[in-house]
């Protein structure tokens, strides 16, 4: 059997069953945005995410500064979604020997900008020769309470921290290879190339969220992890899903359905989380988009009709 | 300027100057086998090392179980060389979609065997699609005292934990594509494909070594890091350098100079360390191969003649 026949999540399930975790100081192992270890009473988070040329980015389609920024941001996003703040990063890089030093330097400047913004530091690394640009970041973080995919409870409100679908629209625009882009198109492209992790919500997620995940594989794909890990049913209300004006313009211009982007577009790095009713006031600037119920599956309520959504997400294999 | 013109270490120097570390809990940042952070009084070590198909291994030349074993071992070796014991690993993998699951499974079984042997656990990971097999491990460890490249002192004895040069001989044998190998050749190949990190010395290194590094880039290449970081002169005695019988057979058969392998062969994952005279008795089963003096450079003493050695090491770029 080939691994493409198993799918990304099927593969992960089989592989993690080989690597059993028994250390009692490991609070969370495989299966969430971060692993978590108790070190002398501190909850330390671990995550990693890679940017591989040709798979996650095209060299001629993203500025090296943005690439460096994005690498840090997508990892910070995983830490934040577990209720943490980022602390120490470790960078593993590979470049073809013919790479211009200026190009590499710009990636590092982008990483440094992002580290300053998120108040984190890269403290070590490893360098190798490679046939394509390879940037693999390992990031640690701290939290007082691990928030993950498992904690969604019946009766919780489902909250989205911002707009989704913009990054996918931006990616499609990039791949159109247009000579000139309109202003709203440039903004959508920027949403794809320079995402911002929601570090501003870190403390509130830690204090008040029952479950949380970041929107990297698409809203429904990621909510599928929450639904299965928490064994709950999730009901979205279509009228509550925020549609960004730029996405509206994009969809009008190119005859697309915005909800296809909002529900299934990936790489937005917004947070989708669930909170109890009494904590909903802490999230004034976010969107309440649905609720958690007993049962299973993800449903979209549109007026009086309700339909079950297919949990397709972006799979990397 | 292209990065190949800078060399691996020139590149690293320039890049790390961009990523300045100011966090006071970071005990050691860039520039050693591991970084080290103080978390609530615990000294936590961080390292990472990658195995990239076509760069670090050839798929048809190493059994997948050995590849998994080697990935863990080379990272454990970095932890041990800083006086630590390995604790939690985090694995980032990439495979072409057409890869057979059996192949991937065997790599993971090799990793698991190594984890059991070294008493460490992989607690999380990330999976991606890739054009070649990519295995990037991020390993943490613990120590009571950080031992690194900087602590070598004038008057120290220079100690080597075991034989070197075997791995390079094994690699050359592998690349000969012979149909049949003699027994000693098979053992040399195994030294290359299934190295064992010196976890047995971890506690002694932590307690008694003033400096330590593992032999990954070659004895002289790695001693060069110690010499420069510690600002000392290192003098080796040729008659004290251990020559393994299998290497002797190899060099006789193929008309090679064993000292070229012993001094400059890489990937042995033995430890070379320095200790004060009063601690030398703790290392009965190791080889005292030289001494640390005031000055700079690495010298080889052969009878009454002494020559300065060129500090060439294996560079990955």
Decide if A315 is inside a domain: no
Domain around A282: 157-308
Strand order in the sheet with B35-39: B26-28, B35-39, B42-52, B134-143, B85-95, B121-129
Kindly report, residue by residue over B240-283, the tens digit of the pLDDT: 999 999 999 999 999 999 999 999 999 999 999 999 999 999 99
Residue A314 has pLDDT above 60, yes or no: no
Using an 8 Å Cβ cutoff, are A35 and B90 in contact? yes
Last residue of a domain, one of A98, A120, A143: A143
Decide if B317 is inside a domain: no
Based on the fold, state whether residues A258 and A302 are members of the same structural domain: yes
Based on the fold, state whether residues B301 and B183 are members of the same structural domain: yes
Decide if A232 is inside a domain: yes
Decide if A11 is inside a domain: no
C-beta atoms of A39 and B41 within 8 A: no
Q: In chain A, pLDDT over 90 holds for what percent of residues? A: 94
Based on the fold, state whether residues A71 and A208 are members of the same structural domain: no
Q: Which chain A positions have a beta carbon within 8 Å of B24's beta carbon? A: none
pLDDT score, position B203: 98
Residue A316 has pLDDT above 60, yes or no: no
C-beta atoms of B19 and A129 within 8 A: no
A72 CB within 8 Å of a chain B CB? no
Based on the fold, state whether residues B187 and B295 are members of the same structural domain: yes
Last residue of a domain, one of B143, B165, B188: B143
Based on the fold, state whether residues B23 and B130 are members of the same structural domain: yes
A40 CB within 8 Å of a chain B CB? yes
Decide if A17 is inside a domain: no
Decide if B198 is inside a domain: yes
Kindly report, residue by residue over A168-216, the tens digit of the pLDDT: 999 999 999 999 999 999 999 999 999 999 999 999 999 999 999 999 9
**Domains in chain A, number:** 2
Last residue of a domain, one of B101, B120, B143: B143
pLDDT score, position A121: 96
pLDDT band at B316 (very low <50, low <70, confident <90, very high): very low
C-beta atoms of B123 and A18 within 8 A: no
C-beta atoms of A47 and B124 within 8 A: yes
Based on the fold, state whether residues A173 and A62 are members of the same structural domain: no
Q: CA torsion, points A163, A166, A167, A172, in degrees to nearest 10?
A: 160
Mutate to test the interface with B, among A1, A3, A13, A31 (most CBs of B within 10 A): A3
Residue A233 has pLDDT above 90, yes or no: yes
Based on the fold, state whether residues B197 and B268 are members of the same structural domain: yes
Decide if B301 is inside a domain: yes
Based on the fold, state whether residues A213 and A274 are members of the same structural domain: yes
**CATH code assigned at B8:** 3.30.1330.10
**CATH code assigned at B250:** 3.90.650.10
Using alpha carbons, select from B309, B191, B291, B305 the residue that is nearest to residue B240. B291
Based on the fold, state whether residues A129 and A200 are members of the same structural domain: no
B149 CB within 8 Å of a chain A CB? no
The C-alpha atoms of residue A317 and residue B96 are separated, in whole angstroms, by: 8
pLDDT score, position A8: 81
Based on the fold, state whether residues A175 and A268 are members of the same structural domain: yes
Alpha-carbon A234 to chain mean position: 19
Report, as an integer, the average pLDDT of A148-152.
96
Based on the fold, state whether residues A283 and A164 are members of the same structural domain: yes
Chain A residues 110-129 with a CB less than 8 Å from chain B:
111-112, 115, 121-129
Kindly report, residue by residue over A107-116, the tens digit of the pLDDT: 999 999 999 9
Tokens of B11: 């590149």
Based on the fold, state whether residues B134 and B215 are members of the same structural domain: no
DSSP secondary structure of B70-130: HHHHHHHHHHHHTT-EEEEEEEEEEE-TT-BHHHHHHHHHHHHHHHHHHT-EEEEEEEEE-
C-beta atoms of A2 and B42 within 8 A: no
Decide if B151 is inside a domain: no
Strand order in the sheet with A134-143: A26-28, A35-39, A42-52, A134-143, A85-95, A121-129
């Amino acid at each position: 059997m080939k691994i493409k026949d198993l799918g990304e999540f099927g593969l992960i399930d089989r592989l993690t069953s080989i690597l059993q975790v028994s250390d009692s100081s490991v609070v969370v192992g495989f299966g969430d945005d971060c692993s978590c270890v108790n070190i002398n009473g501190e909850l330390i988070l671990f995550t990693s995410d890679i940017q591989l040329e040709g798979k996650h980015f095209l060299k001629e389609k993203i500025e090296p500064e943005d690439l460096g920024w994005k690498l840090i941001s997508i990892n910070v996003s995983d830490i934040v979604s577990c209720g943490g703040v980022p602390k120490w990063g470790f960078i593993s890089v590979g470049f073809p020997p013919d790479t211009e030093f200026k190009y590499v330097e710009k990636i590092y400047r982008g990483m440094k900008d992002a580290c300053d913004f998120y108040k984190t530091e890269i403290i070590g690394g490893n360098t190798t020769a490679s046939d394509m640009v390879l940037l693999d970041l390992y990031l640690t973080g701290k939290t007082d309470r691990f928030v993950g995919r498992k904690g969604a409870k019946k009766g919780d409100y489902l909250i989205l921290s911002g707009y989704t679908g913009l990054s996918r629209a931006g990616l499609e625009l990039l791949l159109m290879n247009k000579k000139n882009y309109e202003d709203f198109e440039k903004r959508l492209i920027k949403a794809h190339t320079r995402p911002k992790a929601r570090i501003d919500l870190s403390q509130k997620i830690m204090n008040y969220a029952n479950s949380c995940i970041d929107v990297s594989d698409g809203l429904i794909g990621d909510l599928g992890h929450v639904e299965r890990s928490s064994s709950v049913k999730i009901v979205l209300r279509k009228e509550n899903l925020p549609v960004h004006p730029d996405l509206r313009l994009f969809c009008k211009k190119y005859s697309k359905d915005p909800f296809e982007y909002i529900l299934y577009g990936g790489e937005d790095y917004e947070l989708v989380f669930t909170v109890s009713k009494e904590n909903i006031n802490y999230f004034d600037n976010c969107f309440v988009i649905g609720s958690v119920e007993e049962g299973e599956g993800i449903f979209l309520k549109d007026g009086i009709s309700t339909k079950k959504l297919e949990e397709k997400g972006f799979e990397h294999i």
